[in-house]
Amino acid sequence: MKKILGIGGLLVFVCVLTGVLNPDFVSVYNLQNTLRWTSLFGVISVGVAFVIITGGIDLSIGSVVGLVGSLLAWLLTQKGWSAPAAVAMVLLVSLGIGVLHGLLITKLRLQPFVVTLCGLLLYRGAARYITDDQSLGFGTAYEGLRRLAIGKIPIPGLAADSFALPVPFLILMVIAVIAAVFLNRTIYGRYLLALGRNETAARYSGIHTDRVKIIAYVICSVSAGVGGVLFALDVNSIQPSGLGEFYELYAIAAAVLGGCSLRGGEGTITGVIIGAAVLRVLYNAINILRIPTHLEFAIIGAVILAGVITDELVKRYAVKRRAVRQLAAEQAHKASVPS
Amino acid sequence: MVDASAAPLLEVRQLSKRFPGVLALRSVSLRVLPGEVLAVIGENGAGKSTLMKILAGVQKPDTGEVLLDGRPVEINSVREAIGLGIVLIHQELNLSDNLDIGANIFLGREPRRCGLIDKQRIFRESQPLLARIGLEQSPRTLVNQLAIGQQQMVEIAKALSSQARVLIMDEPTSSLSQHEAEQLFRVVHQLRSNGVSIVYISHRLGEVRELADRVVVLRDGENAGELAREEICHDQMVKLMVGRDVSQFYQHQLHAPGPLALEVRGVRTLAHARHSIDLQVHAGEIVGLAGLVGAGRTELLRAIFGVDPMLGGEIRVAGQSVRVSHPRDAIQAGIGLVPEDRKEQGLVLEMAVRENLSLPSLRRDQTRGFLNREREADITRQMIGDLRIKTPGPEQIVQFLSGGNQQKVVLGKWLAMNPKVLLLDEPTRGIDVGAKREIYRLMEELADKGVAVLFVSSEMEEILGMSDRALVMHEGRITGELQREELSEEAVMNLATGGGRNPAGVSQ
Amino acid sequence: MNNQYRSLLCVLSLSLALAGCGKPGEPAGASTSKPSGATEGGTSKPKLAYVTNGIDPFWNTASAGVRAAAKEFDAECEVLMPAKGIVDQNRMIETLLARGVDGIAISPIDAANQVGVINEAAARTRIITQDSDAPDSKRLCFVGMNNYSAGRAAGKLVKEALPNGGKVMIFVGRLEQLNAQQRRQGVIDELMDRAAQSLETIQYDPPGRVIEGARFVVLDTRTDNFDYARAKANAEDAITAHPDLACMIGLFAYNAPMCKEAVKEAGKLKSIQIVSFDEQDSTLQGIIDGDVYGTVSQQPYMYGYHSVRILAALKRGDESVLPPNGFYEVAIQEVRKANVQEFWTELKKLQKGEE
């Protein structure tokens, strides 16, 4: 909870600062854009959070985004599949990738880093091979499907041309609610948190840790798949060699910024989404505050680092205070019980 | 044997140390005579570790002084302490197990020739040291190929190689088998006769009685008392440690065994695949599983519980055959396991008391995959109450509980499942005297309620004090069964060492 | 112990000997092959390689030209597209040299820092640059357009689209590339009504600074590292940051299509003009629909065609194909609404006819 307040504070700070420096930041158009990008990156960040909670990592997200996006465009434009069939197919592919990762990591005991690093190379290559490395575009034929990524839902009661919710934001909200309920209200979510902190103890408590881990990898890859569909529809022009490149790093950064520990066992969905929002707002701020484009990475890296350092310091302070409080309580207890 | 009036080799005067929020040591004094074994005992948190860390240069005192040979000395670092001849051997061994014995003994002060490590000299100089402590190993043997007890010997050799005059041993037997411990005792005796002073920290009062020339008791960071050789006895030590009279430590009553609860038939474990094991535990019975470390007791419990695969054999719970290939199968059959390593296997340390207590029962209490939070709260409340877990609340992170209360949480996990059979592996390891008593009381209560209790212990007193019946294992086999009236240290040791006629106990 | 050292020594000396043999051998081989190729004429097909700077439809059109010329001049030419930037490209060159080729045409990703690589290649085989030049290297010639003039041509399109001037913004994948820098400077100089600069001595305006002229203001140049999503987000943020933005100029083929998406979704097609480089379908469609004002096509087909033509002739000993100043300039073509249909039909024919 405290963690969410911290990262939320950072988000508010960056927003207020940007808004003051350039009031256009809060223009309807810009808010919609930022919300849309936050949603797209939020979807893949929520997915990777599950894997990070198990203490694992998924480096293949960007390549899954690329493969799914390329496959979708290829199936639609080259193979003439119907939109629902193509979307179902690509999501199925991402599900299969998740199952594959999970099985390799749990049954063969391969390291997640290695498995997903190979995935990163493999799926990128597959995307380029299947599409002959050609850029693919949806042109203007799929405006209906593209509404998933660029459509907006007007808010009842507001004027037609004022703020409307981007469809990806609704998709993110649905995914986030499901994810949060899964993590906090189901026994599997609890299992996930427990095994992320101590897999052995979880197993000794009768939890099928392998199954739970596989579920986490499936959630991650399917989220990347959903993200891939949305990214592809959004940019409308897909370069198999480039779509989604490095997005795993953005997703991991958002998750870590949002309070996930790479050691596992820690993380909240709200935090991760706020983390993704911070990253997007930073990009947006750099652009609209006319900060030179080559400073972009430096600024984002510095902000993430500052966030993580602050978090660590706050955590240490909390541990110390807890210890002091407890000792005080124990001494009071001892004093009250005459020996 | 030691002249009590002799000038002390090492003396501590009025030492105090404050940590944020707590006074760890309150003007503690201590004298170590030349060539004596001084036992320092006390409950967890009594200040033993802090005192020893100060002597070994790990921490610095706030006030007070340390005198060596009657002269005040200031010890600023571990290196300085070693220079003065004071060496601390930690409870967790500090060896690089990827290096060989010689390299470990000379770690950090390797003799060199032409800038390169002079391995020949290391091996030459290691050999007499190893001979002195009776470790029959080449200095070239890798440490990871040694048993824990042998590794400890390497630590001692390392200390001797730096001309230690005072050797501080922190819980040296906590992970040793009886046999290894005896080996250690022999070395301790020998070092003493060579004029080395030994400060011996231990929970195990039996071995303190065995070894110590003098006992200093700490309680709540203060001197609680001192016992001369002839005053050392179990009850006296406990009394000083807990500050009250404890005459009835084990309140054991023989239980009338009920119907057969756990039956193990022809089970083979990975560690001892050659031997098959049969055993039976009845409802309401407490059966102790004795033996040396490495006898295969832990492996047997792990196989029954489905942690390790079973190489054949059958397990029956209340007459029903159960296929166990994962702990979940065992749990569903009504078996619980309080594992050997509480922190690694028993608990998710960073999670709350509530989350730990409910972990095994979440599945049973689920409603279509969702957590049943009321049920979870009920279980938590009930277990904290029943087991008298001392915690500020159900949301306390388990890490911050004392060892004894952590162990109660582990017990609570299984009690919430209403098990038919409860397996306990070293249930009182590393917890203090007060908590031990409570664990024993809980075991008794469980048996009274008809739970079949099978516990592994390396502490002879525990086996003798708690078992209705004891099974003794040696090298993967059950070598014998002792009824309550047959139980004695000699009988257990005899079976545990493979049935030789000479009791290996060191009792006089 | 001793045995180990000895065998190690053996291996070392062996590899040294091999390296020693290889080094002097290869340039000698390369130089003697020239006359032999000339005398034997077409008995052996020249083996050539065409290395792009990345993956893009632009290069597919160039590949069509490569194939056409290979057929016409009886050569074999493989097209290599580095996916991972400069490291990948350098590795490709090394592989080609190791394998042995008669000629390489390359579009260097970072010319200034690839002089060494290109010179090494020049020592072992024939290398020419295409699309983007490395003027300080020992390449035999450069086939391409004058990127600076192309930039100025794009600037002229902007002036046509906005006769009264306005605020413009430039979008590009990377600014490290010489062609990107030259195009950008051409656009800026044209909009600022400055005199034409000579290619060798171009003075560059630093990026990240607003450049104001009489009619036009160049607000900024944003880069996206070839990430399409970021290219689009950059365009969107530009719309936010500059409500009075009048024109977007995309220096790389995909930039204008991404700008088009952003402008369309913002509902600003009426107020923001787009000027493009190259000829992606989306760009050409945009010109037809009136969403994109025009584009500067550099005729990539001709890059491929002339690169292969020159290398094949060189392999056969004909040095007359080398242009006197080392620059074979491929004419650019401006595409507007008036000629877009004709251009597109021709383009499709070129791409298809050579499949």
> Do B127 and B238 fall within a single domain?
yes
> Do C285 and C180 fall within a single domain?
yes
Closest Cα in chain C to A22: C241
Query: What's the pLDDT score for residue C12?
Result: 46
Indicate the residue of C60, C208, C285 with minimum beta-carbon distance to A134: C60
Of C273, C297, C321, the one marking the end of a domain is C297
In a domain, B278, yes or no: yes
> Do A9 and A118 fall within a single domain?
yes
Residue B456's pLDDT band, with cuts at 50, 70 and 90, is very high
> Do A335 and A275 fall within a single domain?
no
> Do A279 and A306 fall within a single domain?
no
> Do A260 and A327 fall within a single domain?
no
The DSSP result for B328-373, as a single string, is: HHHHHTTEEEE-S-IIIII--TTSBHHHHHHTTTHHHH-BTTB--H
In a domain, C171, yes or no: yes
Chain A residues lying within 8 Å of B350, measured CB to CB: 197-198, 265
> Do B158 and B290 fall within a single domain?
no
pLDDT at position B431 over 90: no
Chain B residues lying within 8 Å of A331, measured CB to CB: 22
Query: What's the pLDDT score for residue B501?
Result: 35
Q: How many CB atoms lie within 10 A of CB B248?
A: 9
Cβ pair A208:B339 closer than 8 A: no
Q: How far apart are CA A146 and CA A280, in angstroms?
A: 21
A282's tokens: 């930073």
Question: What residue spans of chain A are helical by DSSP H?
Answer: 2-21, 28-53, 61-73, 83-106, 112-130, 143-150, 167-185, 187-197, 199-204, 209-235, 247-257, 269-288, 296-336
Residue B158's pLDDT band, with cuts at 50, 70 and 90, is confident
> Do C155 and C228 fall within a single domain?
yes
> Do C117 and C179 fall within a single domain?
no
> Do B121 and B167 fall within a single domain?
yes
Closest Cα in chain C to A292: C208
Chain A residues lying within 8 Å of C238, measured CB to CB: 287
> Do C204 and C315 fall within a single domain?
no
> Do A305 and A214 fall within a single domain?
no
In a domain, B159, yes or no: yes
> Do B234 and B266 fall within a single domain?
no
Of B208, B242, B276, the one marking the end of a domain is B242
> Do C108 and C173 fall within a single domain?
no
Cβ neighbors of C62 (< 8 A, separation 6 or more) are C50, C52, C79, C131, C300, C301, C303, C304
Query: What's the pLDDT score for residue B433?
Result: 75
Query: Cα angle at A118 between A105 and A99, to 5 degrees?
Result: 40
Cβ pair A194:B351 closer than 8 A: yes
**Pairs across A and C, CB distance < 8 A:** 106
> Do A215 and A331 fall within a single domain?
no
C282 interfacial to chain A (CB closer than 8 Å): yes
B392 interfacial to chain A (CB closer than 8 Å): yes
pLDDT at position B262 over 60: yes
Chain C residues lying within 8 Å of A22, measured CB to CB: 241
Contacts of B among chains (3+ CB pairs under 8 A): A
Chains A and C touch (3+ CB pairs under 8 A): yes
In a domain, C136, yes or no: yes
Q: How far apart are CA C75 and CA C314, in angstroms?
A: 12
Indicate the residue of A135, A231, A287 with minimum beta-carbon distance to C234: A287
Do A65 and A73 contact (CB within 8 A), yes or no? no
Do B199 and B52 contact (CB within 8 A), yes or no? yes
Query: What's the pLDDT score for residue C19?
Result: 43
Closest Cα in chain B to A338: B243
- Alpha carbon of C325 to those of C130, C144, C200: distances in Å? 15, 13, 12
> Do A262 and A306 fall within a single domain?
no
Task: Select from B73, B77, B35 the least CA-distant residue to B53.
Answer: B77
Domain that holds residue B276: 260-349+417-496
pLDDT digit of tens for each residue in chain C (355 aa)? 445 555 544 444 444 444 444 333 333 333 333 333 333 444 578 999 999 988 877 888 899 999 999 999 999 999 999 887 788 899 999 999 988 899 999 999 888 888 989 999 999 999 999 988 888 899 999 998 888 999 999 999 999 999 999 999 999 998 888 889 999 999 999 999 999 998 878 999 988 789 999 999 999 999 998 899 999 999 999 999 999 999 999 999 999 999 999 999 999 999 999 999 998 889 999 999 999 999 999 888 999 999 999 999 999 999 999 998 889 999 999 999 999 999 999 888 877 654 4
In a domain, C31, yes or no: no
Query: What's the pLDDT score for residue B475?
Result: 85
Query: Cα angle at C260 between C256 and C262, to 5 degrees?
Result: 115
> Do C50 and C137 fall within a single domain?
yes
Which of A162, A239, A289 is most worth mutating to test chain C (most C CB atoms within 10 A of its CB)?
A239
pLDDT at position B390 over 50: yes
B363 interfacial to chain A (CB closer than 8 Å): yes
Q: How far apart are CA C293 and CA B136, in angstroms?
A: 90
Q: How many CB atoms lie within 10 A of CB C113?
A: 13
In a domain, B128, yes or no: yes
Phi, psi of A275, deg, nearest 5 = -60, -45
Query: What's the pLDDT score for residue C77?
Result: 94
> Do A119 and A261 fall within a single domain?
yes
Q: What's the structural domain count of chain B?
A: 2
Q: What's the structural domain count of chain C?
A: 2
Q: How far apart are CA C280 and CA C347, in angstroms?
A: 11
Q: How far apart are CA A31 and CA B325, in angstroms?
A: 55
Q: How far apart are CA B67 and CA B70, in angstroms?
A: 5
B385 interfacial to chain A (CB closer than 8 Å): no
Cβ pair A197:B366 closer than 8 A: no
> Do A271 and A306 fall within a single domain?
no
The proportion of chain B whose per-residue pLDDT surpasses 70, expressed as a percent, equals: 94
Domain that holds residue C61: 44-145+300-331
> Do B140 and B168 fall within a single domain?
yes
Query: What's the pLDDT score for residue A333?
Result: 61
As for the ipTM of the complex, it is: 0.87
> Do A140 and A18 fall within a single domain?
yes
User: How confident is the model over A233-241, as a mean pLDDT?
Assistant: 89
Q: What is the CATH number of the domain that holds C211?
A: 3.40.50.2300
In a domain, B68, yes or no: yes
> Do C85 and C131 fall within a single domain?
yes
For residue B441, the distance in angstroms to the closest alpha carbon of chain A comes to: 21
> Do A306 and A287 fall within a single domain?
no
Do C61 and C300 contact (CB within 8 A), yes or no? yes
In a domain, B401, yes or no: no
Return the minimum-mean-pLDDT range out of A275-284, A288-297, C206-215. A288-297
Q: What's the structural domain count of chain A?
A: 2
> Do B124 and B202 fall within a single domain?
yes
User: How confident is the model over A53-68, as a mean pLDDT?
Assistant: 96
Query: What's the pLDDT score for residue B247?
Result: 47
In a domain, C318, yes or no: yes
Q: What is the CATH number of the domain that holds B139?
A: 3.40.50.300
> Do B53 and B90 fall within a single domain?
yes
Q: What is the pLDDT of residues B101-122, one digit of tens each?
A: 988 888 877 888 888 888 888 8
Of B242, B269, B289, the one marking the end of a domain is B242
What 3 state SS string does chain C have? Answer: CHHHHHHHHHHHHHHHHHHHHHHHHHHHHHHHHHHHHHHHHHHCCCEEEEECCCCCHHHHHHHHHHHHHHHHCCCEEEEECCCCHHHHHHHHHHHHHHHCCCEEEECCCCHHHCHHHHHHHHHHCEEEEECCCCCCCCCCCEEECCHHHHHHHHHHHHHHHCCCCEEEEEEECCCCCHHHHHHHHHHHHHHCCCCCCCHHHCCCCCCCCCEECCCEEEEEEEECCCCHHHHHHHHHHHHHHCCCEEEEEECCCCHHHHHHHHHHHHCCCCCCEEEEECCCHHHHHHHHHCCCCEEEECCHHHHHHHHHHHHHHHHCCCHHHCCCCCEEECCCEEECCCCHHHHHHHHHHHHHHCC
Which of C170, C265, C291 is most worth mutating to test chain A (most A CB atoms within 10 A of its CB)?
C265
pLDDT at position B22 over 80: no
User: How confident is the model over B481-485, as a mean pLDDT?
Assistant: 91
For residue A201, the distance in angstroms to the closest alpha carbon of chain C comes to: 43
Q: What is the CATH number of the domain that holds A262?
A: 1.10.3470
Chains A and B touch (3+ CB pairs under 8 A): yes
Chain B residues lying within 8 Å of A53, measured CB to CB: none
Domain that holds residue A174: 2-291
C351 interfacial to chain A (CB closer than 8 Å): no
Q: What residues are paired with C259 via a beta bridge?
A: none
Closest Cα in chain B to A187: B371
For residue A117, the distance in angstroms to the closest alpha carbon of chain B comes to: 29
3-class DSSP state for residue B153? helix
User: Burial of C212 by CB count in 10 Å (0-12 exposed, 13-18 middle, 19+ buried)?
Assistant: exposed
Indicate the residue of A37, A237, A292 with minimum beta-carbon distance to C254: A237
In whole angstroms, how large is the CA radius of gyration of chain B? 24
Residue A138's pLDDT band, with cuts at 50, 70 and 90, is confident
> Do C140 and C151 fall within a single domain?
no
> Do C322 and C280 fall within a single domain?
no
Chain A residues lying within 8 Å of C55, measured CB to CB: 128, 133, 135, 239-242
In a domain, C103, yes or no: yes
> Do A334 and A246 fall within a single domain?
no
> Do B42 and B68 fall within a single domain?
yes
> Do B271 and B203 fall within a single domain?
no
Query: Cα angle at B63 between B58 and B66, to 5 degrees?
Result: 60
> Do B38 and B83 fall within a single domain?
yes
